[in-house]
Structures are given as structure tokens and as C-alpha cells.
Amino acid sequence: MTSDAPRTLNRLGQSLWLDNITRDLLDSGTLKRYIDEYSVTGLTSNPTIFDKAISRSAWYDQEIRKQLTAGASGEGLFFNLAIQDLSRAADLFLPVYARTGTVDGFVSLEVSPLLAYDTSATVKQAKALHAQANKPNLFIKIPGTAEGLPAIADAIFAGVPVNVTLLFSSEQCKAAADAYMTGLERRIEAGLSADVRSVASLFVSRWDVAISDKVPADLRNTLGMAVGMQAYKAYRDALETDRFQRLANIGARAQRLLFASTGTKDKAASDTLYIDGLAAPNTVNTMPEDTLLAFANHGTAATALPRDGGDAEAVLTAHAKAGIDLTDLARQLQSDGAKAFVKSWNELLGAIASKSKVLA
């Protein structure tokens, strides 16, 4: 049984992306089916996803052998594997990319999380990966840390589409938007096109996980949604600024708000909580595969977020009164997220090393 929820969400104006990529997903035709049946119009990936796919299956064994024979190893070998998968996915989304005037139909590849606090190395790798993939609908993921922001501006200036990751608040989203527009303004000054795409990925569910045992029952699983609604208002406000309107007049497009980490972590809550509740036009929601299937089965998403953020400020105030320092928590979540990505990256490289040793 499937509902019409994915198509409803798409008609409402939100892009539904899958937060997963494996070789089996491609080889089995499952991704193509999700595109055809569930209105999936893009895809994101991260080190944890690849780690599980490589270490827990034999899908990549044959290619790893080829890569080892060719002299590849470690990080370079991983990026070769990842770009193979994401290039195939990018090709599947090319009709979406063309149909939407190059607004939608993107896939995402992350720079090494070890570079999260190294601006110049991040930019260098972002350029290299984008050139290696050679796909117009590939985003390079760069974290929105203090060190990542100038890297985002530099990458945009270089013409590399960027998915700004590890954002946890409207303030962090505003900083990402500033970096994006700075990169575009530098392109215009250099006589280059202002049409370089970006999304800003706001992580939602981790807010609720972080405070689940620190707030009254009536506030549980409401903070992530409120942060998302506040960020949506900030996003819409940014599009109406004179600064962005000047850029739009020369061909720039919006850095679209993307809701990430939208799988429900609390087993007592709805498994489509952050999909049904964060529907909004000209935004993206990227979701894990099990959340996509649940949403296709029984999701609703019939109502768009209010332009003004609805009751977000009241909910955020209630959390502040309950003792939650929202500014400090946003900073902590970003720091913890960067550390978690490094951990996943090291585990991924460890899995590749182990596989390489067995397959060599």
C-alpha cells in the first residue's frame, strides 16, 4: 500500500531527496523505482552510509580489487568508489535536472571531514572532486563551520555547487547564505555567471535527541520542528533582501533550505514527524530510506509551513524557559556533528583498509 503523499509534497513545492546511496540500490533498480514511484528528485550521501555499504556487503569487492591493482588506496580509493556511484545516480537524476531548469536533480558528495577546520585544504579538495566527477548536478558538501564558511565562498567563486552541511540554527543558516552570496558577488565582479547552485542543510532531529530527557513531556519532539520553522522564516526573509534581489537580477538562484536528519529517533513519535511537519515550497527534505518508505505508505504533508514561521518563536521561548540554552546547544551540536563525521570517516577508511588487505 502506498499513499499519494510523495506526489502531494512535490506538488506543494518541496523536493523529496533520499539520504542513502549504495551500489545495490543502483544495480537492483531500486533508486530508479523511487524516482518513478515516490517522486524522489535528488540524493545525499555521507561517510556513515558508505561505511555500512562497503564493510557489510560484497557489493564493492570486485571494484576494490580493480582499484588496488591500479594503485589506488585509502581515501583516494574511497573517492573513486563514491564518485562511480554518485555519477550513476547523477545520470538517473539528469531528466529531473533538465526538467526543473537545473534547480533540482542533484546528488551530494562530502569532502573529507578531517578538513572541517582547514579552509584552503577544503577548497582544494572540493575543486578536485567536482572536476573528477564532471557532473553538473553534483553538490560538494562542505561543513558550515567558521573555517568552512570562507571555503564555501571560495568554492562558489570557483563554480563548484555546494551543499552546506552541519547547520543547526537559523543563525548558522544565515552565515551560510552570506558565504554563498559573497562567492556569487565575487563571480560577478570577475565577469562570471552568477548561476552556481547551493543548498543549506539544517539538521533537525538531533535537537530533540539532545534534550529528550531535559524538558517536560509536552515539549518533547517539538524543538527540532521549531528550529526548522524559524530557519524557514529566515530563509524566506533572505530571499527578499536587496542584496539577494540584486544577485537574482543578474541570474543568481536561491540557496535552497534543505531539511536534513529527518528520520525520527524517538520510537514513541510518528515515523514521519519531520516530513509531515516541515513541508515548504522551494525547499528540500532529504530522508533515510526507511523514512521514505514510511512516508510513501502513510504520510500526509498536506499543509505548507507558514511563511512567518508559525509558532516557532513561542516553542523556542518555552524551551529557553525550561533551561535550554539554544545558542550554546546549536554550537555544541555543530561541534559534536563534526566530531561524529570524523569518527565515521575514520571507520570508513578502516573498513577500506581491512577490505583491501583481504582482497589484495
Active site residues: 141
181: its cell numbers: 552570496
Burial of 69 (0-12, 13-18, 19+ CB in 10 A): exposed
* Residue 306 contacts residue 16 (beta carbons within 8 Å): no
C-alpha cell at 291: 523514512
R_g of the chain, CA atoms, integer Å: 20
Instruction: Quickly count: other Cβ atoms within 10 Å of residue 225's Cβ.
Output: 24
Backbone CA torsion sign across 77, 78, 79, 82: positive
State the angle between helix axes of 47-55 and 326-359 in degrees (0 to 180), rounded to the nearest 10.
Answer: 30
User: Helices 119-133 and 74-99 sit at what angle, rounded to 10 degrees?
Assistant: 60
CA distance 17 to 203: 14
Alpha carbon 144 to its chain centroid, in Å, reads 12
Q: What are phi and psi for residue 244, nearest 5 degrees? A: -70, -35
